[in-house]
Structure 1
């Protein structure tokens, strides 16, 4: 065999193999590589989107926390104001009630004093009438008169 014929035959077989590979083998491999590259690119894009979404979510959470803290601080301030207001109202009501009770007690004491005076006047009047009766029944004698006055003093 001739070297040239072998070389030409090998070139023809190689050319057929290359053309067969380019036509039938290479497209599925290229397609698989392209699909893999697309998937990797999609994965990287999804990771980037996820990262940006996460950052946005973190910002939103921080904003919501700040807003929540502000609302809580406002609620606490309002509650403290309301508590102080309730305390002041309770003090005012207590002072009003104390003044009313004091006035009622003074009125009651004044009534009792007036009743005691009236009772005392009635008793003094009764004793005076009894004394006058006793004096009028007996003769006017200074010794007996002094005795009656001292007895009246003891009764008072």
Structure 2
């Protein structure tokens, strides 16, 4: 009877241990599921943050490119304006020289260089 009682006790302990193990396994599975869900949520948050940062960098790059383009446009316009002014000055000087040469031919006389330079400067100033 004692052997039978011990046998029943061992079987009951085994069943209890199996029940505890089953509960521990279920708890471990639940914890693993929770950890996996949490890891997925963190990964999604990281992906969203990276996407926002990438969009921000793209927007910043676009703005920098736009600003650089505008700066280059302004610089090019300034260069063009300087070249136009230089061309006007050269043209004025040439027109003045031609006017003096034409006046010399019309007058039939030669004007001295000092007077010529003075006349050219006056014409350039007037043009």
The TM-score, its normalising length taken from structure 2, stands at: 0.75
Partner residue, 2:71: 100
Deviation (angstroms), 1:83? 1.6
Instruction: Measure the CA separation in 1 of the matches of 2:9 and 2:104.
Output: 137
User: For residues 7-156 of structure 1, what are the structure 2 equivalents within 5 Å?
Assistant: 30-31=2-3, 33-137=4-108
Larger radius of gyration: 1
Aligned to 1:117, the other structure's residue is in SS state helix
Q: Aligned residues, how many?
A: 109
Partner residue, 1:8: none
Instruction: Measure the CA separation in 1 of the matches of 2:13 and 2:107.
Output: 136
Runs of 4+ in 1 over 4 A off after TM superposition: none
Deviation (angstroms), 1:35? 4.6
The TM-score, its normalising length taken from structure 1, stands at: 0.62
Larger RCO: 1 or 2 (CA < 8 Å, sep 6+): 2
Q: Unmatched 5+ residue regions in structure 1? A: 1-28, 139-156
